[in-house]
Copies of this chain bind each other. A is one copy, B any other.
């Protein structure tokens, strides 16, 4: 992802604006650009909570966010991770259906809901794009259902890594700069952190991945990983 000429500039607001705008255009939502304001969240901070009144939505400029639900008895299911260029909080009406927390430091653009609603009424293209966003979320949830309903641990982890590699997590060539703890991966994949750890260790043993340091995963051999996603059964 190139930030045109701004990457070298130390000035922050114009840099962010450029990055934000570039990302927004891709989803046909450049009309939003005029009504957002930049904001920041520290790692671990809550952006919004499940059940809270829905006042604002966000576009992520940098960092990563986890969207999750907690059951009454304290079990957590992470529904999705969102990264640079993704939108959060647009998929509901009155209140947030999921909690959003910063997995690592996040820069985002905040949109006041009432203004978004007004824009939606005026511009059918924005409306269409936002509905497309919800549809995409639904598609992704269906994919996730298959993971949790049909797959074994190795399949889940391997698919997850390949999924991350396709998204914005890739740093240089193949190193995933995943600022994700084992517990987060576990809660996303419906496993325990020990199972995640063991599975990653095994992938490392067979040379599919490398684990250079804490919270970094290097994809060494996609074919071997893909082989793990197939169960002979």
Contact = CB atoms under 8 A, between A and B. Distances in A.
Interface string A103-132: 000000000000000000000000100011
Interface centre among A134, A138, A187, A189 (most CB of B within 10 A): A138
Contacts of A73: 230-231, 233
In this complex, the interface size class of chain A, counting residues with CB under 8 Å from chain B, is: 20 to 34
A9 B73 CA distance: 50
Contacts of A138: 91, 97, 134, 137-138, 141
Contacts of A149: 77, 148, 187, 189-190
Contacts of A189: 149
Interface in A36-55: none
A8 interface: no
A185 to B, nearest CB: 12
A92 B190 contact: no
A46 to B, nearest CB: 18
Nearest 5 A-B pairs (CB), nearest first? A149-B190, A148-B148, A141-B141, A75-B150, A77-B149
